[in-house]
Chain A
Amino acid sequence: MIERLYGVEHSVMFSCFFSTEEKSVCPSEELVGKLSALPAGTVVGIEFSLEAHRSLLIK
């Protein structure tokens, strides 16, 4: 059973007059607070691919 499912906004589209820009946001304090309380080794599934993660590593 999945104890908790988090639906997050991993970026925001910000519109102002004639332009729209995608802006970065951070995970909330509440989310990281809940995660930090989990025992080590807890399995956390995230909507991301290993391939995309690898591309992060060489940035």
Chain B
Amino acid sequence: MRLNDESEIMVSPASKYYWRRLIDFCGRHKLRVVYLDDFETFEKVMEKRAEAETYKQRLRSFFERLESERSIYTETNYVREWMEAGYRADVEAEYIFIVGREKKILENIQKTNPSIVVMGKGHGDIIFLNRGSLETQGISFGQYLREIAGLRNEEADPFEGWTISAVMPEFDKKLPSFITYEGPDPSVVVERELLQRSYNAVTQMRILPERKPDFIGTWFPKLRSRGLFEVYIEERRDGGGISGTIEDILGTAGFEGHWNGQKISFKKNYDAQKSQGQSHYPLFYQGNLENGTIRGHYDFISDGGIINYPGQKDSFVLFQGDQFKLDLS
């Protein structure tokens, strides 16, 4: 038996602490533990992470050499390719880690047929939400219960204080609270949806491949799949007015603006319920069509309409239809 370095990396010491206590408890009460996770999937994740690191190392070496030679950086295709490939490997690693493992967990549930299953809420919420489709695979669930780490409401707030060390010793002594199921955590559902979008972007250069957008583009031309977005026009008004939704890896945003076949401008606002970690400020985009490509820039604007962070020239590109042109120059 040896210490497996990969498991050490994939399961954090904090998580191991929890699972160890649970496994020990089951052992003491003569419950039979079956392991639902899949180590081979961990290994695939490690391979993808190593691939991502290879590209990051190439980029680091490239820029270190530029710095040592005091050369001026001009963007080259291979630097862009390294960035895209490294990012793609990172997203694929995360996707295998979350979605690939979950698939294996469900297969192992089918094989071992446990009466009780304990898993992270990120998987539990999604699996319970999809329980209808899982029944066709012979997996059915009775009750779903959610455990919440933290103190109960009536207890004092443990987070008061100025440093982690000041509050954590007290927090460490507490057991997590526990509540019965009240529906999946909306943030978990959004998080999973956005992971799927990131994966779609790096593998298909699409956000929602089952739909047909009016425009497709990127607000991050240096790493196109990271900033990929799709524009869905839902209403057209006289004089070129348009409105609808924009979908990207940060979530769903509403937009309103103008498009006259040559110039486009619109204000975009993320929907807080369907997005994560996005700017609270609306963004204003404006661009012009030249040789089949709309190029322009976007700015963050405050409620008063004041531009807070003026964008750079060519900070976004956009194409009509659902085909992203990969040979940008």
Contact = CB atoms under 8 A, between A and B. Distances in A.
Contact of B144 (A7, A36, A45): A7
A22 B304 CA distance: 39
* Chain A contact patch, size range: 35 or more
Contacts of B118: 6, 8, 31, 44-47
Interface residues of B, number: 75
Contacts of A52: 4, 7, 10-11, 16, 19, 37, 39
A55 B14 contact: no
A41 B18 contact: no
B113 A43 contact: yes
Given A7-B125, A27-B18, A41 B105 contact: no
B309 interface: no
Interface string B125-142: 101100000000001111
Contacts of A6: 116-119, 124, 144-147
Interface string B9-24: 0111111111111110
A14 B142 CA distance: 32
Nearest to A38: B31
A56 B35 CA distance: 14
Question: What are the 4 A-B residue pairs with the smallest beta carbon separation, nearest first?
Answer: A7-B124, A45-B114, A11-B14, A30-B178
27 contacts: A1-B141, A5-B117, A5-B128, A6-B117, A6-B146, A7-B128, A11-B14, A22-B12, A23-B168, A25-B176, A27-B25, A27-B147, A29-B178, A31-B22, A40-B29, A43-B31, A43-B34, A45-B33, A45-B116, A45-B119, A47-B105, A47-B118, A48-B37, A52-B4, A52-B11, A56-B20, A57-B1
Interface of A: 1-12, 14, 16, 19, 21-32, 35-36, 38, 40-59
